[in-house]
């Protein structure tokens, strides 16, 4: 399966990323809003687990997508996201391990992805700006006095930013010509 994904051209791979991103959204929203009761805790945990696995897949696909833009930053972004996913997984299996906020990792991840999108030329720069703003928003969640007044706005911005990126990838994909130009520059010495 991994080999087949690696052999896909840029546009179908971007659309696959959008599909997995959509699955993440659906499972995360289901866990948060449709399965909140005590009686449904097993289903909520299962939905959260699926959403985390989907986000890990999106992270790896984004690493590959943005590697031609800047290999090092794409790797650092992926590491931040994977650490955030690890924190979420740990808190899912051990609720007492909730002392570290996953936003500590997802904030920088979104900032870096926003920067990579902005520099990419194969995706609209506005998506990069939105993702960077969402990253700043996730970092604001680490400052409790600000969160009390701004939490719904920050969550809304995050949903708009990540949702816009997901929809763009699903509907349009990437500009294949510009992505391949970047990839060829990365491959040449």
Considering 59-68, 93-102, 177-186, the range whose residues carry the highest mean pLDDT is 59-68
Mean pLDDT of the chain: 86
| Over residues 147-155, mean pLDDT | 72
**Confidence at 3, pLDDT banded by 50, 70, 90:** low
Cα separation of 129 and 126, whole Å? 5
Could you tell me the pTM of the whole model?
A: 0.88
Q: Which residue has the tokens 């590491």?
A: 79
What is the 8-class DSSP label of residue 102? T
Burial of 49 (C-beta count, 10 Å sphere; 0-12/13-18/19+): middle
Higher local confidence (pLDDT), 91 or 67: 67
């Amino acid at each position: 399966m991994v080999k087949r994904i690696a052999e896909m051209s840029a546009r179908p791979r971007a659309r696959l990323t959008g599909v997995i991103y959509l699955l993440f959204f659906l499972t995360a929203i289901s866990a948060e809003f449709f399965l909140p009761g005590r009686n449904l805790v097993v289903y909520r945990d299962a939905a959260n687990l699926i959403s985390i696995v989907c986000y890990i897949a999106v992270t790896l696909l984004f690493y590959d997508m943005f590697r031609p833009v800047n290999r090092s930053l794409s790797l650092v972004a992926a590491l931040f996201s994977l650490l955030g996913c690890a924190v979420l997984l740990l808190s899912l299996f051990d609720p007492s391990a909730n002392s570290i906020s996953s936003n500590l990792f997802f904030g920088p991840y979104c900032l870096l992805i926003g920067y990579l999108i902005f520099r990419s030329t194969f995706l609209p720069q506005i998506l990069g700006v939105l993702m960077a703003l969402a990253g700043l928003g996730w970092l604001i969640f680490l400052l409790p006095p600000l969160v009390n007044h701004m939490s719904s706005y920050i969550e809304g911005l995050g949903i708009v930013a990540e949702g816009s990126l997901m929809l763009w990838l699903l509907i349009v994909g990437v500009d294949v010509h510009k992505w391949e130009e970047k990839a060829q520059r990365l491959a040449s010495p």
